[in-house]
């Protein structure tokens, strides 16, 4: 392990360690998270998903940062995307279980607030499936566009104040990779199972777990980038 890997791992550990060492801090976190969920979503995704992209860069280039990468604009974008994700999670979690009940699998809506049962598993899978087939492709494409915009502007924070040429970026997007790997492979084989686990967890931990998955996303983005060069 190189020094930069040790520093990265240490930062990750120190990010969570205080919550284990100081119960009062953890209680304060839970209270604030319950009262201000979208603010916490911004912070969780802004920090954790950006760390995931830094890890992806490490896999691609051997470095956690480089000129033009734009850690700060990425963190802001991820924070905003995190709020969008948290909102989508609430919408799908509230809307999908009653539909599953309606089509004949009774007890799913009621089971989502309780302990683990097969009905809760069905509900969590249904929520994940709908969110990842309806919301995720749009989200992933928007993220790819913002990522391209940041890179094309040298990673400057000021790029967030500039108009994003969506049409241009979409026209030049490598759809073979976006469809053939990002959509076709990561959604059914990783994101649907991973978010099924997410929606089985207690509500207070769902957004945090989803943000932690952002670290995995960084690795997947690195793989996609390598595929895009081949």
Question: Can you give the residue ranges of every domain in the chain?
Answer: 1-35, 37-229
Residue 197 is predicted with a pLDDT of 96
Residue 1 is predicted with a pLDDT of 66
Q: Tell me the pLDDT band of 226, cut-offs 50, 70 and 90.
A: low
pLDDT in tens, 8-37: 999 999 999 898 888 999 899 989 988 999
User: In this model, does residue 217 exceed pLDDT 80?
Assistant: no
pLDDT in tens, 81-134: 999 999 999 999 999 999 999 999 999 999 999 999 999 999 999 999 999 999
Residue 230 is predicted with a pLDDT of 52
Q: Tell me the pLDDT band of 222, cut-offs 50, 70 and 90.
A: confident
Q: Tell me the pLDDT band of 228, cut-offs 50, 70 and 90.
A: low
pLDDT in tens, 150-177: 999 999 999 999 999 999 999 999 999 8
Residue 225 is predicted with a pLDDT of 67
**HEC readout, the chain:** CCHHHHHHHHHHHHHHHHHHHCHHHHHHHHHHHHHCHHHHHHHHHHHHHHHHHHHHHHHHHCCCCCCCCCHHHHHHHHHHHHHHHHHHHHHHHHHHHHHHHHCCCCCHHHHCCCCCCHHHHHHHHHHHHHHHHHHHHHHHHHHHHHHHHHHHCCCCHHHHHCCCCHHHHHHCCCHHHHHHHHHHHHHHHHHHHHHHHHHHCCHHHHHHHHHHHHHHHHHHHHHHHHHHHC
User: In this model, does residue 205 exceed pLDDT 90?
Assistant: no
Residue 3 is predicted with a pLDDT of 87
- Say what the pTM is: 0.90
pLDDT in tens, 37-64: 999 999 999 999 999 889 888 888 889 9
């Amino acid at each position: 392990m190189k020094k930069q890997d040790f520093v990265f791992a240490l930062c990750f550990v120190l990010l969570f360690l205080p919550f284990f060492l100081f119960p009062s801090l953890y209680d304060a976190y839970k209270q604030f998270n319950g009262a201000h969920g979208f603010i916490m979503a911004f912070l969780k995704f802004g920090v954790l998903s950006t760390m995931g992209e830094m890890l992806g860069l490490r896999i691609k280039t051997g470095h956690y940062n480089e000129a033009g990468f734009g850690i700060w604009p990425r963190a802001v974008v991820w924070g905003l995307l995190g709020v969008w994700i948290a909102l989508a999670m609430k919408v799908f979690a509230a809307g999908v279980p009653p539909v599953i009940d309606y089509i004949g699998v009774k007890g799913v809506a009621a089971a989502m607030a309780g302990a683990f049962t097969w009905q809760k598993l069905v509900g969590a899978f249904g929520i994940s499936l709908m969110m990842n087939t309806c919301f995720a492709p749009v989200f992933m494409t928007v993220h790819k566009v913002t990522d391209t915009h940041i890179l094309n502007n040298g990673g400057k924070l000021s790029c967030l104040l500039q108009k994003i040429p969506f049409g241009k970026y979409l026209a030049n997007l490598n759809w073979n990779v976006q469809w053939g790997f990002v959509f076709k492979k990561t959604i059914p084989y990783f994101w649907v199972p991973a978010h099924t686990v997410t929606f089985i967890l207690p509500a207070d931990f769902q957004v945090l777990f989803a943000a932690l998955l952002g670290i995995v996303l960084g690795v997947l983005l690195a793989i996609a980038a390598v595929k895009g060069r081949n």
